[in-house]
Structure 1
Amino acid sequence: MFKNILLPTDGSDLAVKATDLAIRFAQVHGARIISICVAQPFPFVPMAEGAVVPDAAVFETQIATTAQAHINKVAAACATAGVPFEGVVVNSHTPYKEIIDAAQKHNCDIILMASHGRTGLNKLFLGSETQKVLAHTELPVLVLR
């Protein structure tokens, strides 16, 4: 039934647990895993003359390197389990859109993703990429906590 599983990852402990479950899910269904990590660009734009700005290029290089390292960990786990794998790193301010676009591009049947389960003010101010994916996709989404 499920042949192409999209697995967003951010390298968190919860994402690692989701990876383990996604691999077992893929084994049961004879599916492949497409994992995506969204590197978010440098968030600061100086608004005042003379503002001290950290080197955005260094920041973005480090973020991209970290995102690739997260994908490499998923790739290694899939290789160990014998699950076909494809990794994707993208740079975007809107991770949920990249997740949905990747699911469409790779003909995914399901999105399997972790949710940090934020509540209260943290949920209000930080938002939830998982919630945004749920609200904007028509694919089944398996949410793990």
Structure 2
Amino acid sequence: MFSKLLLATDGSDHSHRAADKAIELAKLTGHSCIEIVYVVDVNKSKSDVLQYGDSSSVLKIREKMLSVFRDKFKKVGIFSKITILHGLPAETMIQYANENSFDCFILGSRGRSKVQTMILGKVSHKVMKHVNIPILLVK
């Protein structure tokens, strides 16, 4: 049924709740693999470097954030894989999801942006409209 799951994350609380739901779904099948995808937003990556000093510092912060998710899955015996993509978050995730034969795309309803907390996340909304596989949107 759902053996190949895609989890989108940005490190937000919504992403962590989505990860918890991914675990529940994976346990139902007993043999699921969860691919954790993070998109480096090309429009924000330069400002991240300016904020944190250099690109290696930014990379370490991202790796630490993603390792929290990987460790969460490992702790409950679920295999996971981390994929880092570069581009516009919604468009990049849509293309990746549609081209890689996932059984379900799991994501949080909102991300880290303060503006997006007022409405359904801009990225989540685009993904829902354009992904060709089942989606689990977690509040």
Q: TM-score range by the shorter chain?
A: 0.7 to 0.9
Aligned residue in 1 for 2:77: 82
For these two proteins, the number of residue pairs brought into alignment is 133
Unaligned ranges ≥5, structure 1: 46-53
- Structure 1 residue 144 and structure 2 residue 138: aligned? yes
Q: Larger radius of gyration, structure 1 or 2?
A: 1
Question: 1-side partners of 2:99 and 2:13: how far apart?
Answer: 27
- Percent identity for Structure 1 against Structure 2: 23
- Could you say if the C-alpha distance between residues 95 and 26 of structure 1 is closer, same or farther in structure 2, counting changes exceeding 3 Å? same
Offset at 1:74?
A: 1.2
- Could you say if the C-alpha distance between residues 25 and 88 of structure 1 is closer, same or farther in structure 2, counting changes exceeding 3 Å? same
Q: What TM-score does the superposition give when structure 2 sets the normalisation length? A: 0.78
Unaligned ranges ≥5, structure 2: none
Q: Secondary structure at the match of 1:142?
A: strand
Aligned residue in 2 for 1:95: 89
Offset at 1:100?
A: 2.0
Does the CA-based 8 Å contact 1:10-1:67 persist in structure 2?
Answer: no
Aligned residue in 2 for 1:7: 7
Aligned residue in 2 for 1:25: 25
- Equivalent residues in 2 for 1:44-55, closer than 5 Å: 55=50
Question: 2-side partners of 1:70 and 1:132: how far apart?
Answer: 24
Deviations 1:47-81 (A, max 9, x none): xxxxxxx8499455444333322221111011111
Letter of the 1:110 partner, please give it.
C
Which of 69, 73, 96 pairs up with 2:68? 73
Aligned residue in 2 for 1:37: 38
Q: Secondary structure at the match of 1:133?
A: helix
- Could you say if the C-alpha distance between residues 55 and 113 of structure 1 is closer, same or farther in structure 2, counting changes exceeding 3 Å? closer
Offset at 1:27?
A: 1.3
- Could you say if the C-alpha distance between residues 106 and 67 of structure 1 is closer, same or farther in structure 2, counting changes exceeding 3 Å? farther
